[in-house]
Amino acid sequence: MTENIVTVTKEEVEEFVKTTQFRGYQNITLPYGIIVPGDNLEKESDYLLPETLTGQSVLDIGCDYGFFCHEAKKKGAATVVGLEMNQETAKVSKEIAEIIGDGVEIVHGNVTDLANNNLEIRDNFDTILLLNVVHHLTDPIDIISKVAQLCNKMMIIEFPIPSDNKFLMRKRGYKKEEFYKNPLNKVKFKLEKGFIKLLQKRFPIIGIGGVEYHNTFYFSEKSFDNLFRLHHKSFTKIEFKKSSRKLDRVIAYCEK
């Protein structure tokens, strides 16, 4: 593993953390033990990433502040690129990468452009991460099948399934505050969720949300496997395991 090249002083790192508005999604440890505040994902990283990525090239799509990029580097990846669509998030993640000094490269851009060859990322990658981004995409089928062509070994995709609470609540236009005023709603919701859970276990179903950007697609494991392995032939084998971070999400290990 290569050594990080830290060129900033403790005072500079402290100043960065003090003067930056963080969105709190990913907690990242900077040099001198200074922490970017957010959810601690260390356990998730051990659970989700392969034991080693020695010598591999890794792309993390929708990388947020780049937590998984830096974890991939720690696991021996030779090159790591993080792609992030949100301009402000990309800017902060670039600053974090510079401070850490491990050679992670952050690119500001949209995965749709990457899929359609409109981004300056040309090379293929051994491992591609697409974690908790699928439900933000308007055409994940097109995007995943195209991005799979840029992958040599394995895509790791974490996505919500149709029993996801937000999907079920928003499907009916429920607002949280109004919803809980009526105790019957809770019972109805539990029944509905139970039914969907049964359905998604046995059938290849896809949920399509009714809220722009946040709630687009929710695949059951069987629909995901049918789509990307059987029909698109993007992968030869897909294995699933439960997400350790969120309920009603799964992690798909998609082998080329």
CB 176 within 8 A of CB 136: no
**C-alpha to C-alpha distance for 223 and 209, rounded to whole angstroms:** 16
∠ CA 200-147-128 to the nearest 5 degrees?
Answer: 85
Q: How far apart are CA 54 and CA 161, in angstroms?
A: 31
In the complex, the smallest distance separating the C-beta of residue 111 from ligand SAM, rounded to whole angstroms, is 4
Report the residue number, 81 or 133, with the smaller CB distance to ligand SAM: 133
Neighbours of 51 (CB within 10 A): 8
CA 90 to chain centre: 15
Q: Supply the minimum distance, in Å, between the C-beta of residue 135 and ligand SAM.
A: 8
Chain residue whose CB lies nearest ligand SAM = 62
Cβ proximity to ligand SAM: between 8 and 159 the closer is 159
Q: Which residues bind ligand SAM (CB under 6 A)?
A: 26, 61-64, 83-86, 89, 110-112, 131-133, 136-137
Return all residues near 201 (Cβ < 8 A) that are at least 6 apart: 220
For residues 89 and 200, which CB has a smaller minimum distance to ligand SAM in the complex? 89
Q: Which is nearer to ligand SAM, 61 or 161 (CB)?
A: 61
Query: What's the min distance (Å) between Cβ of 98 and ligand SAM?
Result: 19
Q: How far apart are CB 204 and ligand SAM at their closest, in Å?
A: 25
Give the span between the Cα atoms of 201 and 45, in whole angstroms. 26
Give the nearest distance from C-beta 195 to ligand SAM in angstroms. 27
Between 79 and 86, CB nearer to ligand SAM: 86
